[in-house]
Structure 1
Amino acid sequence: MATKRDYYEILGVQKSDDVNAIKRSYRKLAMKYHPDRNKEDADAAERFREVTEAYEVLSDKDKRARYDQYGHAGVDDQVNDFWARGGFQDSHAFRDFGDVFGDVFGDIFGGGGGRSNRGADLRYQLEMTLEDAANGREVELEIPKHVGCGTCKGSGARPGTNPVPCRTCGGHGQVQMQQGVFAMRRTCPECHGNGKKIESPCTDCAGSGRVQTKKKLKVRIPSGVYDGAQVRVGGEGEAGPQGGATGDLYIVVRLKKHSMFERDGADLYCDMPITFPQAVLGAEVDAPTLDGRLKIKIPAGTDSGKVFRLRGKGVPDIRVNRTGDLFVRVNVAVPKKLSKRQEDLLRQFASEAGDEVYPERESFLDKAKQLWDDISGEVK
């Protein structure tokens, strides 16, 4: 007979480690070697059995004390009895493993007793303006969804009758099946985990316990939501079948593109044109904000592209719990048309500044005529 390995070595723990460290190691190894995850590995089942046996001893205070004093000889009788009683499925190793990994392995590790199925969560996309997202808004929605059947009160059974315990699982919602040395529990295929069957279905919901409808509800969207933010409304999802718990509603915010502002987190950015005289001489101008216009001072000699920061004029952001700033970039607008006086004044300014500018010349047609005459003279 092969010599048994040391239980501490199997779990990769030290003798000084407490039960929490042992439990953490067991869960990790049980996940790694579970037969359902290693169907191609013939050794996995034996490793899983080994890990389970080690945990069954070291997680029990009395068994661990006897093992520490006498080794395997001190606990062999109890270990043999453990496997004789069914092993894993009746042990606290099973319960500890199932508590953590039930969601991973589906229904293999479910606890006893029938359970109603929870209704599905719903998602609703809501388009909002930047202003509404910044200030918050109450919206009224109409959501198509399943609700509990009013005729049977969600039970699925015809009024005057009741669901009966499932004969396949005895009302537990689970059936036990043997896989090698392991006895596993799975969701009952007959009642789908409910533990009950409906022999006389409700005629309004066909036994499902729910009906399709459209429900209106008002929801407050908080200020500071961002594009892609999800607002959860508990209990407003789909009703669960046959009286199961109701799911939740998730409102997904989609922000419309703004004609003036770009948003980056809590901050806003925009471009604002100013005139050449305002840039040169300085001025007080109206800058756009989400709250209306705000006067800002443009210093004399302001370059095109200069950015002005208006603190606290951005938007709230629920992710960072602050209100951002507004960054206004000014662009000097070049006039496309000038009056004769404006042109004369600019030429005078350019002359005094020593700038070279195009002199006053003929119209485009005059210049074209001159070019044609020059070409004709060369040809002659």
Structure 2
Amino acid sequence: MSFTQQMQDLYKVLGTTKTASDAEIKSAYRTLAKKYHPDLNPDDKEIELKFKEISQAYNILGDAKKKQQYDRGEIDATGQQQNPFHSGYTQRGNPRGPTSGGGPGGGFDFGQEMDIGDIFSDLFGGRRQGAGGGPGGRAGGGVPKRKGSDVKYECTVNFVEAAAGAKKRINLADGKTLNITIPPGTNDKQVLRLKGQGLPGKGGALNGDANIEIRIEEHPMFTRKGYNVHLDLPITLLEAVEGTTLTVPTVTGKVKVRIPADSNTGTILRLKGKGIDDIKGHNRGDQLIRLQVTLPEETDKELRDFLRGWSKSTSYDPRKDTGLFD
């Protein structure tokens, strides 16, 4: 089957069907990319062509919007808008697109990389560097000089590591490791860009970059709002009435906090400078502690009897001044 014929059905290119889920499409692409990537099959034109087909198919089917347009027939297999008066291919049989033309190399340009760095990050952590380029931007073997593609990685850190900063190590698919610094105050889904840590360039060109997307795990106690850290602190009825001193966690370690007497649920205590550094390191947020008066799961008869007796001698009504229950 020719390249043009294959590209008429992108699902067949990836070996899937129209009913395949996003995860199944991604898995199919991952498997084929491992098998047909040109860096693993140097100087094999058929393999390179096959990889172009696979990449173009995933460029459309791996993008939810493009996939819907393709399924509805609004775009063709090259991503071009369908025109009722023209086919999706040139007279030379090359898919229409920004790089199609009448000269050699028309059709797909392998240098026009799609946004599939998240897949490549699982496959490659940097391969052999292309030979040095000579005059005209080509290597000795006639390889076009072309910058390497960027790759995308994910690095998961916990709440405290993102707040206070940390050193992390990413394990690459080829066995190498990449050491990165998580700056204090890093946000969820923030991207760190590492120059030259992507796929190798061709013909002596520069390597691509590595884009590290930071994912922050939820914390069982802390939540973040801006550069402030919020913490709900359970206290007993006695601690609320008499006051006490408790040790509480912060993103930089444990500290002692004085709980005032007659504290109530919802009372906010502020720890200045115990929050999160801004990304530039100029300011630091606070930690806000909200007290929660908490009874035991089961109260005993002695406590209930005491409260019944105490309530008879007081006019205490927590709803009286709210104006909501009159």
- Calculate the TM-score normalised by the size of structure 2: 0.49
Structure showing the higher strand proportion among its residues: 1
- Indicate the structure whose relative CO is greater, using CA pairs within 8 Å and at least 6 residues apart: 1
Output the TM-score relative to the length of structure 1.
0.43
